[in-house]
Amino acid sequence: MTEKQDVMNACDSHESGKKIGRTSLLDSGEDFEVLDEEDIDDDPPPLEDAGGGKGNNSEESEKKNTDSDSDPAGPMDEWMDVLGNGQLKKKVLEAGEGRDSRPQKGQNVKINLKTYLKDGTLVAEQTDLSFTLGDGDVIQALDLTVQLMEMGEKALVQADAKYAYGVRGSLEPEVPSNSELSLEVELLEAIDAPDLELLPPADKIALASLKRERGNVHYQRADYAFAVNSYSIALQITESSSKVDISPEEENELMGVRVKCLNNMAASQLKLDHFDAALKSCVSALEHEPENIKALFRMGKVLSLKGEYTEAVKTLRKALKLEPSNKTIHAELSKLVKKNSEQRGAEQAMYKKMLGNPGGSGGSQKHQATPTWVRVTR
């Protein structure tokens, strides 16, 4: 495989992986209050990095640039333009053990990492940082470039904010908005991910929860497509079969993680206007927990956005019955009842018009309207 093909593979991984994010910013437990649906009003950022959604076609142009402009990597100390757009570059500082030692997507890797701002300020130093390559556990700059590193290699990576912490920046490490970063990376280890069927239940629960929390980070950063990807990975873990004995308590805990993922996935899909997918996620959550208020609330919102007001009102009334004091459900239900009333009024007006009975007066109309059973006296 040529260096150019490697770069193209990295770009393909960049499209399909939908990655970004760092450590969880949320507490464990139920993830989002119902109010969060209204609290986060920012439009999603450009989703070209996620390979879909409401973004533009910059992925296509990046592919073309990679095809036509990316040169094979030169000697050490020369920069590799990873995506062909000049926004993500890698330079070998110390050579590794050869191409065959490069890690594969899905493997668990371990690196040493130093993170610098453009002005040279060191903002973080991490040793033995572990993550699953391609799962979105780290910023895109790492997910894309570590795939191109050899075991034992030390490299310098320059990343535009787009492939780091974006317009929102980060609190930990402390990175200002729209900051370009320089990363010193040393690849220490790459091992195959554990077999989920053989994973002890406690480890499976912990792994699924970790991926869910990564999704929470993406959601809070308004990276909704990336959030969906992380929740999907978590769901795959919770739904995997097991060859290891699992107790009823562990099964219930795993089910709890699954429902939270489905709920949060529905919230992310709503933000992306993927209404059918969001409805499917709500239905799946309610199959496991029929009285889950958050799933009912989001299902009501989805049905409303799809114009199915009668069903939406019915669903929200069920949620409100379970939690009568919830002001958010009250407000949403009030809006829907009004919309449903207006829709029914418009339909009635249309039917009258279709039947030729606009409500006007006229002798012949009055005569025709006289019931046949009325007795006429002389």
User: Each residue of 220-238: pLDDT tens digit?
Assistant: 999 999 999 999 999 999 9
- CATH code, residues 201-350: 1.25.40.10
Per-residue model confidence (pLDDT) at position 51:
37
CATH 1.25.40.10 occupies which residues in the chain? Answer: 201-350
Higher pLDDT, 369 or 261: 261
Instruction: Give the predicted TM-score (pTM) of the model.
Output: 0.71
Least confident of 160-164, 271-275, 308-312: 308-312
pLDDT band at 338 (very low <50, low <70, confident <90, very high): confident
CATH 3.10.50.40 occupies which residues in the chain? Answer: 79-192
Per-residue model confidence (pLDDT) at position 358:
53
Confidence check: pLDDT of 104 > 60: yes
Confirm or reject CATH 3.10.50.40 for domain 79-192, answering yes or no.
Answer: yes
Per-residue model confidence (pLDDT) at position 357:
58
Q: Calculate the average pLDDT of the chain.
A: 80
* pLDDT tens string 267-291: 999 999 999 999 999 999 999 999 9
Least confident of 15-24, 248-257, 360-369: 15-24
What's the average model confidence in pLDDT over 96-115? 97
Higher pLDDT, 38 or 349: 349
* pLDDT tens string 173-223: 999 999 999 999 999 999 999 999 999 999 999 999 999 999 999 999 999
Per-residue model confidence (pLDDT) at position 375:
52
Distance CA 65, CA 68 (A): 5
Confidence check: pLDDT of 366 > 50: no
Least confident of 54-68, 229-243, 331-345: 54-68
Per-residue model confidence (pLDDT) at position 345:
62
**CA 284 to chain centroid:** 17
Higher pLDDT, 2 or 144: 144
